[in-house]
Structure 1
Amino acid sequence: MLVVNRFRVATDTDAFTAKVHAALRALAACPGYVSGRFGRAPDEPDLWCVATEWKSVGAYRRALSNFDVKMYATPLLAQSIEEPSAYEVLASLEPGGELVVTGGDWVHVEEGRR
């Protein structure tokens, strides 16, 4: 499971960066967390991104109910650009490895039902 949250931040970037660091620490302490990244678009400096990888959809959803995640990550994630952020990984390739293609196990949701 890949989660990508994008943000528009033009001012007070030091405070935003501190919030992201705290959120990543809280998320990383949760079972099922694989990795996390924080970046900024070089061609559009007010566009920022937090990307995390999880072992499963369930691990990510369970992490969202963790107390520290609610304290540090949830308020930050609520400020992200409103767009889908969770993606099922359908293929991956490690350096020197083989391409791994998965059939996917995401439950397809009908429009209007969640």
Structure 2
Amino acid sequence: MSVMVILRFRGGADFGGRLQPAVDVLAAKPGFEGADVVQNLDEPDLWALVMRWKDVGSYRRALGGYESKVVVVPLLSEAVDEASAYDFPERVGENIPRAGG
């Protein structure tokens, strides 16, 4: 079982190519299990980066470090502002969100 991270973006037809360098950086991080860059079928300017991580800590730690701060974080700051990390309810247990809703 993995943590799933879904980040949505608004961008043009070539936006998917902008996501690949971030995926390449994150793929080298411990706990990374895979990623897909997908385009919405009904709204072609809506893109999603769907990633699978061993656990939420692996994902959050992957955002640290020089290369992530230079390549990944600026791009992720363009994501639609919404919650992005998902897990199975039985694994979440008592959930203490990082930010207020």
What TM-score bracket applies, with the shorter chain setting the length? 0.7 to 0.9
Which one has the bigger helix percentage?
2
Normalised by the length of structure 1, the TM-score is 0.76
- Please name the residue that 1:79 is paired with: 78
1:6-31 deviation per Cα after TM superposition (whole angstroms, max 9, x unaligned): 01113xx43x3332010000000000
List structure 1 runs of 4+ shifted beyond 6 angstroms.
none
Deviations along 1:6-65, one digit per CA (max 9) or x if unpaired, are 01113xx43x33320100000000000000000101211011000111001111111010
Structure showing greater Rg: 1
Alpha-carbon distance, 1:103 to partner? 2.0
Question: Post-superposition shift, 1:106?
Answer: 5.5
The one of the two structures with greater contact order (alpha-carbon pairs below 8 A, sep at least 6) is: 2
Choose the corresponding residue for 2:8, options 6, 9, 20. 6
Q: Structure 1 unaligned segments of length 5 or more: list them.
A: 91-101
Provide the secondary structure at the position in 2 that maps to 1:49.
strand
Q: Which amino acid aligns with 1:108?
A: N
Aligned pair count?
Answer: 98
Residue type of the alignment partner of 2:70: M
Give identity over the alignment, percent: 36
* TM-score normalised by the chain length of structure 2: 0.84
- Where in structure 2 are the equivalents of 1:64-103 lying within 5 Å? 64-88=63-87, 90=88, 103=90
Unaligned runs of 5+ in 2: none
Q: CA deviation at 1:68?
A: 1.6
- Offset at residue 81 of structure 1 (A): 0.5
